Amino acid sequence: MKKTFITLLILTASVTGGNAQKKKGTNTKKTNNMEISNKEKVTALLKSIETGAAEPAGYINPNKYIQHNLGAADGLAGFGALLQALPPNSAKVNTVRVFEDGNFVFAHTDYNFFGPKIGFDIFRFEDGKIVEHWDNLQETAKPNPSGHTMTDGPAEVKNAESTNANKALVEAFVNDILVNGKMEKLAGYFDGDNYIQHNPQIADQLSGLGKALQYLASQGITMKYDKIHKVLGEGNFVLTVSEGSFGGLYTSFYDLFRVENGKIAEHWDVIETIAGKESWKNNNGKFNFAK
């Protein structure tokens, strides 16, 4: 059954890949007179990992699919091979949030993918087809000290007109606090002590973040952000992709922030240790983003 699905996935994408819309910059495709948004395409593609539906593979351009998950070989064949390695009927996919920023769609998903995991996926579109993919995955953890899971909380996009301002605010926060350690600026990014936290190890409120950082320092555990590689946003939600280290290990940080009234109000994250280059199945890199 799985082999049939993988075959259908590759064949479907090969047949439909050449039928991309001619119009540049479009983010929808007409099927039976209905508009399918890029967000809907991403949600359907991710769900097909669970259901085995082959049709969503047609949303991928098979001739130009660049893979940045370092555990998958490049191209559509690499994606198919990764799915084929899954234990039968094990995959579960629940996409909790999905956002769009220009040619990029980014999703926040609760997976069972070689075990329970929480993931962020980023897809780049050209002419209505997916041409590139990045992700970050972390084993699902128990609720944090404040009772929040890694995915619960609001998902509705608000204040679309504030997207650019919110992206600038979050980028400045990550650069000031996490990259450059300017802790004297920390309070200015928050509304007093009000702050909802979904990191599994950290409690709510700004004071909860401070206590967690102090504990890490007392245990000699360092968390260092070296560089932001991408900032994506839609309305009140902003995702940053950063490179750094955690506990001395080379690490990829994906952080999702919700902004409210010009202040950071809520945070979700996925932290993934980056495997050694000798184990990579493609050479596209974890952080190479098209502009």
Clarify whether residues 107 and 216 are in a common domain: no
Q: Are residues 167 and 135 in the same domain?
A: no
Looking at 106, 139, 172, the residue that finishes a domain is 139
Residue 283 lies in a domain: no
Same domain assignment for residues 121 and 48: yes
State pTM to two decimals.
0.90
192 plus 247 within the same structural domain? yes
Q: What is the pLDDT of residues 195-216, one digit of tens each?
A: 999 999 999 999 888 888 888 8
User: Could you tell me if residue 128 is inside a domain?
Assistant: yes
The beta strands (E) that lie in 153-262 are given as 196-197, 223-234, 237-246, 249-260
Measured distance CA(209)–CA(108) in Å, rounded: 22
- Residue 59 identity: Y
Amino acid letter, residue 82: L
As a whole number of angstroms, the distance between CA 163 and CA 208 comes to 27
* pLDDT given at position 6: 52
Q: 229 lies in a domain?
A: yes
Residue 212 belongs to a domain: yes
Is 66 among the domain residues? Answer: yes
Q: How confident is the model at residue 19 (pLDDT cuts 50, 70, 90)?
A: very low
Q: Give the separation between CA 268 and CA 200, rounded to whole angstroms.
A: 9
Same domain, 209 and 261: yes
Same domain flag for 98 and 170: no
Q: What is the span of the domain harbouring residue 209?
A: 160-273
Q: Is 135 in the same domain as 206?
A: no
Asked if 49 and 88 sit in the same domain, the reply is yes
Do both 127 and 206 map to the same domain? no
Q: What is the DSSP string of 122-152?
A: EEEEETTEEEEEEEEEEE-----TTS--SS-
CATH of the domain at 177: 3.10.450.50
Residue 114 lies in a domain: yes
**Is residue 289 one of the residues assigned to a domain?**
no
- 30-80 pLDDT, tens digit per residue, is 444 467 999 999 999 999 999 999 899 999 999 999 999 999 999 989 988
In angstroms, the CA 230 to CA 285 distance is: 14
Residues 117-156 have pLDDT tens digits of 999 999 999 999 999 999 999 999 999 999 999 999 999 9
Tell me how many domains the chain contains: 2
Same domain, 203 and 238: yes
149 falls within a domain: no
